[in-house]
Chain A
């Protein structure tokens, strides 16, 4: 079956798009992040009086010109009811990424369209949509369930809608690995290109679980911060001694991945190359990481191996760093163990400090931040890291962005079920 494969091909990033709590648009979001701004706030869009966690990162409402989201500017009203919010956010980020890449083969370019695929995942998908339908059933109104209910809730419909919109007829796939979804989507899509299944892939993650049902569920699993309801921007504080859980975020990150020669041939702008990708499983617990952080360690080691790199060659790590009491230190420990004596030269930050945890979108958005860190030679800050719970030789870029020489960056994402993924980007040659 695989014996006819050619040597792996090189994969580069040629387009990027973001919708997140800091707003819309890669440049807008990045500028705000480097300035140390926070996208976290008290939840206003639904009643939180019965929830212990009352803060989140939501995509700000406003006009496109303000770098905010008015969904009517992006998706016709009649189509909005056919898709859960996570799909809407995926379409917004995908539009920016596709337009940024300039890769929009027309109806007369059938072969090019067939060589372009989509892989946008989500951690949970259309949870609010399922909730709404359940209410109707509880009232005995089964026949009032919308014909769009199922296609609105299905996770792979983000990929489906993007492919329909742009006519991309290549591999159409979706990743579902909880909070590791985004990295898996980027890594798996890059592999499809490397192995010849496609020349271009629109890849990423989308999530919109900041709703009563999503908040209540994560509250029940004791994962969310509850001590900073009166100071929302302080709630996400990776590695800080006062951290008490993650802050839910929503959004989408989408990139256009492209085979190197394909990108060069059309004169595309190349942001970075995807040079490494590694995965592992904990085989331990449904929600908790192993007590020695070994899963994270092995995912990073596998990514380094696939890139043919030693840890010393990486200057920046965008951490999973969700601001949970246990997870942050275990990841730190795993990085220290892998880097050894080189840890003192490494910068590692958690951008979740500014936007919260975007679950299935996190890895894609943070992959984009890693690429921008390379492009602009700057490590984005870990906000609220005022008093680390423990010391480390690693510079965790506390409070303010740092200019640093960054040619190669690694981004981590770990998910419930004990799934871990790491991806490595390198400055375009």
Chain B
């Protein structure tokens, strides 16, 4: 697993207060991890902070799973 994936999952565990084992790559923040819409806004902010990237609102809306977050951040970092 990549460093990015590890770090994303760690942030998700901290912010949503969920078991690490539930945070699979495919997990949806809202459907699987009990987040609400405000939680997802906060999660995206935490990703921005942790990875030093800017995630505009239209892109943030499409980040609904752990995989979405990892993919978006890796793309930004390699850009």
Contacts and interface: CB of A to CB of B under 8 A. Distances in A.
Interface residues of B, number: 9
Contact of A144 (B15, B38, B45): B45
A79 B15 CA distance: 9
Contacts of B3: none
A144 B48 CA distance: 9
Nearest to A76: B17
B41 interface: yes
B42 A148 contact: yes
B49 interface: yes
Taking residues whose C-beta sits less than 8 angstroms from the other chain, chain A's interface range is 10 to 19
Those 5 A-B pairs whose CB atoms lie nearest each other, nearest first: A78-B17, A147-B41, A147-B38, A147-B42, A76-B17
Dominant secondary structure of chain B at its interface with chain A: helix
Dominant secondary structure of chain A at its interface with chain B: helix
9 contacts: A76-B17, A77-B17, A78-B15, A78-B16, A143-B48, A144-B49, A146-B42, A147-B41, A148-B38
Contacts of B16: 78
Interface of A: 76-79, 82, 143-144, 146-148, 151
A320 B48 CA distance: 49
Contacts of A147: 38, 41-42, 45
Contacts of B45: 143-144, 146-147
Given A143-B45, A144-B49, A147-B41, 17 more contacts: A76-B17, A77-B17, A78-B15, A78-B16, A78-B17, A79-B17, A82-B38, A143-B48, A144-B45, A146-B42, A146-B45, A147-B38, A147-B42, A147-B45, A148-B38, A148-B42, A151-B38
Nearest to B37: A147
B29 to A, nearest CB: 13
Contacts of A151: 38
A31 B58 CA distance: 58
B59 to A, nearest CB: 14
A66 B42 CA distance: 35
Contacts of A78: 15-17
